Chain A
Amino acid sequence: MSEKPEQPENAGTAVDAGTAGAPAGSAAAPSRRSVLGWGGAGLALGAAAAGGSVAALTGGSDPVPAALTGAAVPFHGAHQAGIATAVQDRLHFASFDVKTKDRAELVALLKEWTRAAERMAAGLPVGEGAVGGLPEAPPDDTGEALGLKPSRLTLTVGFGASLFAKGRFGLEDRRPDALVDLELFPGDNLDPNRSGGDICVQACADDPQVAVHAIRQLARIGFGKVVMRWSQLGFGKTSSTTPDEQTPRNMMGFRDGTRNVSGTDTEALEKHVWVSPKDAPGASAWMAGGSYLVARRIRMNIETWDRTPLQEQEDIFGRDKAEGAPVGKSKERDEPFLKAMKPEAHVRLAHPDTNDGATILRRGYSFTDGTDGLGRLDAGLFFLAYQRDVRKGFIPVQRRLARHDVLNEYIQHVGSALFAVPPGVRDTGDWWGRALFS
């Protein structure tokens, strides 16, 4: 058995932020001291290190898309990676229920998960690796990511409201006001087996095998302490956080996320995505630097959608299908003239100007999970959105959409969850949720 490779290929290629402030190749986490004040340099570095899309130069001078570099995204920072990070191509999202009743055991698991996540983000196997251990023992790592690059893997953890329930882990006083119980919106047809959960893990990577491997290791480490409640695979990011790249298309064939928050727009992130210390007073102070994640499994009736005339499709969205240009404009990024759209067009109803400026960072993925038994694809959008306060973000927008959006004829929300996403893991001594449990 040869020695375990501790340096994956490309370990030295950190994703260049493409902005000032984060030296390329610097994966050093900010010191504990430098981020104690939340914000300031630490925040900028976190956001910068997470952003960016184009990085490694491969000998020539043409920049290579980040997805092709296989590089590693730094795991540590003021904010968790996987939010402002340039959206990767693939997703494996898992929601867990905590089975253990022992708070210490849950804390130990979160620590163990953090250490495993650090290794995987760097492209290393968990524990003692996948090979070379005792022949009588099952290897610590399941092995299917051996030889694969880090592929910009990010692992992002969030806590559901049920974790804060009275009589569970003594967290009832620490539940932030913003971690509401999501109301049932008109038209919702939620499957309890695809909704909720105590803890979520969002794994994003450019290589689907890397994302699946990551969730699989965490699930295995968690056996006996947590159980998987539901999970979702996603492909073809439907929103990008990199406005300089081509906007991806969703399963309906339309560009999605044109006006999304950019992962390098520190000001917009502070305003719309990160929880500020002011938002998190007293016992909820642990959320400062965190964010709120809404996950909705949106089934699309793609067969009926595909039979819809082009004009109607474009009227429903409020953008044209070829360019993604708003009604009456010629380019995708032209400022939408909302009044030119039908009153119930999707873009018009969802636009910040219609919703008192409500802006959320979308990070969704398309999915197809086989067929529905009726000869149709079980396909749609796994909607993921991060925001500073769901009461000023997703909820008012969705209220409006659920009531009026003409797109509703073709979609149905079948899964739903809301998670409080704690701030980043600062260094190798820190762990997911430390501030919450301390």
Chain B
Amino acid sequence: MRPARFSVVTAAATVAALTALTGCAEKSDGKGDGAITVTATDKSCEVSKTEFPSGHVQLAVENKGSKVTEVYVLFPDGRIVTERENIGPGTKATITAEIKAGDYEIACKPGMKGDGIRQQVKATGGAAPAKRSPELDAAVAAYRTYVQQQADETMPKVKVFTDAVKAGDIEAAKKAYADSRIGWERTEPVAESFGDIDPKVDVREDGLEAGQAWTGWHKLEKALWQDKKIGDAEKKLADTLLADLTDWNKRVGKAEITPTSMANGAKELLDEVATGKVTGEEERYSHTDLVDFQANVEGAREAFTLLEPVVKVKDPALAKQLNTEFNALFDLLEKHRVGKDEFSFVSYDKVSQADRKVLSDGVNALAEPLSKLAAAVAK
């Protein structure tokens, strides 16, 4: 990461309007004034009202099924307004939330798996919500799925890395290091929108604030490549990294994502490449910059690909140009690949200044039109 800066991906703070106050699993009858009862079974999800006034909303949940269930209130794009997990068979729970006017879905997930059984509801009153585009909602939902999937696939790889560190195995840890970062790098702007995780896991030494303890990947990178030793402190750092990334994995799917923030996130991934990777600053000890580079561009492309159906209609020339430049940049990266594996790249300290300039020019060639994506989506 670079030192923090204002991100267009809305920071968690702005979601405060949707503060979800999850009640305890108390033995309440849930018949509060205006409460909506949600009756969950293994095959159904009954909601007592599909329309209710916006504002302070209370859901009285009862699980009448045989499986543990979860109940969610979701935005149409799949974003979570509030949720309650682990509602055991025969137990009740109360969920309260501040909900703005608009369309939502309530979902029960018997067995805590899958998309759940969904029921459309409406919060009435207040200002009419902005008109939504089903195509863009679908793009955001698909991107949210992608982000969560990346986070899920990352965790086992992180574990390989942290286990190796904890076992004191320098070589194994070095081998697992870059791999453990790929999912993070692909979706970095979403993680950055939380504000608190990124500085713990992906800060570089030069990005530290006064009094900030250095934790995360890059501290371990320095230990492995420069100090060439693993001590107790490093083993503890590995535990911390695993814990912080577990937290990321739990929260990343609930980030505020909009079509515009997706588009800007794609641009930001190229900014990351331009300021950190092309210069060799990001992975200054391991020189695995090209792995991050490839992952950043892949993440940007995923966001673009999901928005592409809309962009093709609104600005076909831009869609064509972005495809051309994405392909060109991947072709440039290809030249530095060693072996067949998607992420086996030459060490960046072996990449000449002239080759770095070619890569940098390729980044500019893509990032300039990519900076127009948000407006094309918002049109």
Contact = CB atoms under 8 A, between A and B. Distances in A.
Interface stretch (A66-74, A142-150, A219-227): A219-227
Given A224-B325, A224-B369, A134 B364 contact: no
A138 B364 contact: no
A99 B368 contact: no
A136 interface: yes
Contacts of A227: 357, 361, 364
Given A137-B371, A227-B364, 12 more contacts: A99-B365, A134-B375, A134-B378, A136-B260, A136-B377, A137-B372, A137-B374, A137-B375, A223-B364, A223-B365, A224-B365, A227-B357
Interface of A: 99, 134, 136-138, 220, 223-225, 227
Interface in B325-355: 325
Interface of B is mostly: helix
Interface residues of B, number: 18
Contacts of A99: 361, 365
A143 to B, nearest CB: 15
Interface string B227-260: 0000000000000000000000000000000001
- Give 10 closest A-B pairs by Cβ, nearest first: A137-B375, A224-B365, A223-B368, A227-B361, A136-B378, A136-B375, A136-B374, A134-B375, A223-B364, A138-B371
Contacts, number: 32
Q: Which of A136, A137, A223, A227 has the most CB of B within 10 A?
A: A136
Contacts of B325: 224
Contact of A224 (B364, B375, B379): B364
Contacts of B367: 223
A223 B364 CA distance: 6
Nearest to B364: A223
Contacts of A223: 364-365, 367-368
Nearest to B361: A227
Nearest to A97: B361
Contacts of A134: 375, 378-379
A94 B188 CA distance: 35
Q: Which of B364, B366, B379 has the most CB of A within 10 A?
A: B364
A220 B374 contact: no
A301 to B, nearest CB: 26
Nearest to B360: A227
Nearest to A219: B364
7 contacts: A134-B379, A137-B372, A223-B367, A224-B325, A224-B369, A227-B361, A227-B364
Nearest to A137: B375
A110 B375 CA distance: 26
Interface string B299-334: 000000000000000000000010001000000000
Contacts of B377: 136
A224 B323 CA distance: 13
A135 to B, nearest CB: 8
A191 to B, nearest CB: 12
A108 to B, nearest CB: 12
